[in-house]
Amino acid sequence: MELEKKVKIAVIGLGYVGLPLARLFATKYSVVGFDINESRVNSLKSGTDTTLEVEDDVLQNVLVAEPDQEKGLYCTTSLNDIENCNYYIVTVPTPVDKNNRPDLTPLYRSSETVGKVLKKGDVVIYESTVYPGVTEEQCVPVLEQCSGLIFNEDFFAGYSPERINPGDKEHTVEKILKVTSGSTPEIGLKVDALYKSVITAGTHLAPSIKVAEAAKVIENSQRDINIAFVNELAKIFNLMNIDTQEVLEAASTKWNFLPFKPGLVGGHCIGVDPYYLAQRAQEFGYHPEIILAGRRLNDSMGEYVASQIVKLMIKKGISVNGAELLMLGITFKENCPDVRNTKIVDVVKALKDYGILVTIYDPLANANDVIKEYNLITLNTMPNNKFDAIVLGVSHKEFLELDFVELQNSNSLLYDVKGVLGDIADNRL
């Protein structure tokens, strides 16, 4: 299907998902990137992406000074700048609250924003991960109320789940096949054509918005369950004094073995999305067992890792109370500055409960964000003293080049949460 001659796209939310997408579309279309965070917008306007998802020279190459250019990206906090767009793509986060219940507040607020400027013929596409039904049952009514327009008569909707992998410079947005959908068959074709025009990996047009929503939420739920399984294996094999990594390496020689590794499962996707699916299932009277069991096990791993570290310290004769420990990394994954829902904080909290003095070093994390989110002090430069224990919590590439001997005293423990240090580590998860 051919698109309109004049395509103008507004991307609502310029975070880890929105900015790479806006940058990609800006290579071909006029794109306005909208975000309510003024400091974020000012940073982008200066040509710098603090999330490190888009390299500065790549970002600067698409930035334009005015919102009505033939192509290019204009970043703004002003509602007036997105009034003339005909495609609105919403890429805001979908977190859970303290009770692990879906928090749709960012989606409601962004839908209100779009509803204020929505016009006849416009298409609103959601990329945020949700449970099946959110787009049409939760977001569309907000759009109708704020715009006074009628859904599927005056305006239309689509859903194309984000598949960004933060910190991954190989599987970038254009190289990941995109699932698309629309609120009518014709709109589905239009949404698919829009993404197909920039996604080199191709697209998959789902038959409905609910199918596309469900496809996304099970992607991360599946990974969560598989990681929970190998985490449970790690607990079992540790009791048997068997190296879990060696077991997995041996098992992986079979062609259809799934190569998952044990670890901490945090972040704003895998550690959150299963709760969205579970919540929706319960609304239909079904209590999901495997999904929530996987979540419980993965959420318990922080305390488990801390207990393993303490046991090893005791075996080495290290006095636990008052011991100085260096935690390498606080972000939720390697080579990424995002600290949202990081499970390293669970390890740190448990270690502190044992009386251990924990120093956190992470060159990528924003120290102010860590203080705001977790009330923890994080160093961005390497401390120059020696430690009783060193824990590789996040495998940033900078950490893999460290000389760990310089950080250790004569009887230090080196614990590898990520299983990447090989024989130099005393133990690994």
- Other residues' Cβ atoms within 10 Å of the Cβ of residue 153: 8
Task: Establish if 223 belongs to a structural domain.
Answer: no
Is residue 26 located within the same domain as residue 99? yes
* pTM of the complete model: 0.92
Phi, psi of 146 (to 5 degrees): -80, -25
Task: Establish if 147 belongs to a structural domain.
Answer: yes
The string of pLDDT tens digits covering residues 96-115 is: 888 889 999 999 999 999 99
Task: Establish if 28 belongs to a structural domain.
Answer: yes
Task: Establish if 215 belongs to a structural domain.
Answer: no
Which of 150, 178, 207 delimits the end of a domain? 207
How far is 80 from 260, CA to CA, in rounded Å?
A: 47
pLDDT score, position 4: 66
CA atoms within 13 A on the CB side of 420: 16
Is residue 251 located within the same domain as residue 340? yes
Is residue 125 located within the same domain as residue 23? yes
- DSSP three-state, residue 155: strand
Give long-range contacts, CB 8 A cutoff, 24+ apart: 220-223: 220/129, 220/269, 220/270, 220/272, 220/273, 220/274, 221/273, 221/274, 221/277, 221/291, 221/294, 223/260, 223/270
Is residue 148 located within the same domain as residue 29? yes
CB 111 within 8 A of CB 90: yes
Is residue 249 located within the same domain as residue 384? yes
Amino acid at 101: R
Task: Establish if 359 belongs to a structural domain.
Answer: yes
Structure tokens belonging to residue 155: 């305006």
Task: Establish if 212 belongs to a structural domain.
Answer: no
Give the CATH number, domain containing residue 86. Answer: 3.40.50.720
Task: Establish if 217 belongs to a structural domain.
Answer: no
pLDDT-based confidence at residue 164 (cuts at 50, 70, 90): confident
Is residue 251 located within the same domain as residue 359? yes
75 tagged catalytic: no
Q: Which of 75, 85, 139, 269 is catalytic?
A: 269
pLDDT-based confidence at residue 168 (cuts at 50, 70, 90): confident
The string of pLDDT tens digits covering residues 395-418 is: 999 999 998 889 998 899 999 998
Close Cβ partners of 1 (under 8 Å, ≥ 6 residues apart): 186, 189, 190, 192, 193
> 91, exposed or middle or buried, with CB in 10 Å at 0-12, 13-18, 19+?
buried
Is residue 195 located within the same domain as residue 310? no
- Other residues' Cβ atoms within 10 Å of the Cβ of residue 273: 26
Is residue 306 located within the same domain as residue 369? yes
How far is 399 from 44, CA to CA, in rounded Å?
A: 28
**Domain residues for 99?**
8-207
Task: Establish if 276 belongs to a structural domain.
Answer: yes
Which of 191, 207, 223 delimits the end of a domain? 207
Angle at 343 between CA 164 and CA 427, to 5 degrees: 110
Is residue 189 located within the same domain as residue 261? no
Task: Please determine, for residue 1, whether its predicted confidence score (pLDDT) is greater than 80.
Answer: no
Which of 207, 235, 255 delimits the end of a domain? 207
Is residue 202 located within the same domain as residue 281? no
Q: Hey, which residues does 345 pair with through a beta bridge?
A: none
The string of pLDDT tens digits covering residues 45-77 is: 999 999 999 999 999 999 998 888 889 999 999
The string of pLDDT tens digits covering residues 372-390 is: 999 999 999 999 899 999 9
Is residue 19 located within the same domain as residue 80? yes
Domain count, the chain: 2
Is residue 329 located within the same domain as residue 251? yes
